[in-house]
Amino acid sequence: MENKEDHQNILLVTTDSVRADYCSYLTRGRNTTPYLDSLVNESAVFTNAISPGPRTPSSMPVIFTGEHYRSTPTQEDFGSRYSRIADHMRRYETIAQLLSKQGYATAAYTANPWTTEATLFDQSVDCFRMIGSKHQQINDNLDGDRNINLYERLSHIGDQWLKKTDWFSQWPAFYEEIRSAINQLKEPWFIWVFLLDTHSPYIVPKKFRNEISGPAMYYSAIRHNYTIMRNGHHENPPNHLVSFLEQSYRDSIRSVDGFIEALEADVNYDNTTLIFHSDHGEAFGEHGTYGHQPELFEENIRVPFLIKGGVEPSWIDRPISLIELPKIIEYIVESRIISPNDFTDDFVVSKTEFGEETAVRGERWKYIQKRDGAKLFDLKNDPGEQIDLLDQEPEIAEKLQETHKRHERTRREKTKIGEKMREIAARI
């Protein structure tokens, strides 16, 4: 039997809403990730990492299980969506369950309201810490389960701001807890941290405000909430508001980079693998939306993904889906000699939460299948995805359409097999 001490510790850092092209280690001139920039020569850097979905509910359950959702024909309210995520997490083995079976001590610190005990992200986690208060309750209230008055709403938001939790979460407020876990957990350990600092309203600690001033940051946060966030788009937002939002957003990425740098003093990287990624991207009006709406354009699904330790350092341009993360971690734990290209593919798939859209994304070509039609983009010559080439390139479109159909067939077959196995297990 393999000695547990031979295993690598696994430090998984997930950050919300960071798009790849806003990270300076992937895009020159940004200067947003100076510490991550310094790690690239000793890391596996995936330049075309694709999230399996454009929002947290469509991405994180898939990333944590390595399995796509079963299709749901209609959208659901908050309570039903929590139940659906929990059902998915119950059906498949999660990263934490995989590592717990290998003898790992496990801990999780998550500020995201979709990754809670209610959605079963705490399965096989020895120490599960939700950085927030009454997430599900307030979401249910806002969804119409019961009316809440203005005072109650403002009181709840004020409490979040004062405690730096929920949508105002800032990592310095709970870093000491993470440090304690690093020092106290028995090795090998798995620690997952899900930061919300880069999610709107992009509230950034003063130390990391390189571009935005405090008054402009709070002004843009309030204006953003009331002019854009309520429906995800705005026909003509003021130019100064968009500029302030992007400045705050870039500074929030600098803050997350500061978190990774702070870890260096507390983590022994000789026996620890650092994995850094985002759950999805963020739009700033490129295709008429802001934030992370259920759209599959590059600003929504192309994300940073970097691994330091456990894999050979290299730059990988072939597409990779973050659905591969559980398998990558399993290989690292088993000390297999692997190349990052072992997990890439010619084309990878990303889907909206309820199956309204599916994207088949290659290194150059990208096909988006919607319920009312399809689009084809040449990312090499049209990185902004403005020119639909579906009619001009019918052969390429047909090839990617078949890839989409093959994915759907495979997913349905896996669902049938899984349901059959559960029926058999229930009889035993």
Predicted confidence (pLDDT) per residue in 328-360, tens digit: 999 999 887 777 788 999 999 999 988 889 999
- Alpha carbon distance 338, 305 (integer Å): 17
355: left (phi over 0), alpha (psi -120 to 50) or beta: left
Say yes or no: 263 and 186 in one domain. Answer: yes
Say yes or no: 233 and 372 in one domain. Answer: no
Say yes or no: 43 and 60 in one domain. Answer: yes
Query: What is the count of structural domains for the chain?
Result: 2
- Alpha carbon distance 148, 171 (integer Å): 29
Say yes or no: 315 and 370 in one domain. Answer: no
Boundary residue ending a domain (311, 333, 350):
350
**Domain ranges, residue 360:** 356-428
- Contact, 59 vs 80, CB < 8 A? no
* Extended beta strands in 301-426, E state: 302-303, 305-308, 314-316, 320-321, 347-351, 357-362, 365-370, 373-378
Return the CATH number at 37. 3.40.720.10
- Please state at what angle helix 135-142 crosses helix 78-91, rounded to 10 degrees: 140
- What is the length of the chain? 428
Say yes or no: 175 and 298 in one domain. Answer: yes
DSSP string for 220-265: HHHHHIIIIITTT--SS--HHHHHHHHHHHHHHHHHHHHHHHHHTT
Boundary residue ending a domain (323, 350, 377):
350
Say yes or no: 18 and 110 in one domain. Answer: yes
| Cis preceding linkage at 201, omega within 30 | yes
- Please state at what angle helix 214-224 crosses helix 239-263, rounded to 10 degrees: 110
Q: What is the dihedral of CA 74, 75, 78, 83, to 10 degrees?
A: 40
- Alpha carbon distance 106, 126 (integer Å): 5
3-state helix, strand, coil in the chain (%, to 5): 45, 15, 40
3-class SS of residue 288: coil
Boundary residue ending a domain (350, 374, 402):
350
- Contact, 169 vs 112, CB < 8 A? no
Return the CATH number at 427. 3.30.1120.10
Say yes or no: 292 and 404 in one domain. Answer: no
What is residue 72's predicted lDDT score, i.e. its pLDDT? 62
Domain-embedded: residue 2: no
Residues of the chain with pLDDT under 50: 1-5, 135-146, 421-422, 424-425
Say yes or no: 391 and 309 in one domain. Answer: no
Domain-embedded: residue 51: yes
- Contact, 54 vs 295, CB < 8 A? yes
What is residue 141's predicted lDDT score, i.e. its pLDDT? 44
- Contact, 400 vs 365, CB < 8 A? yes
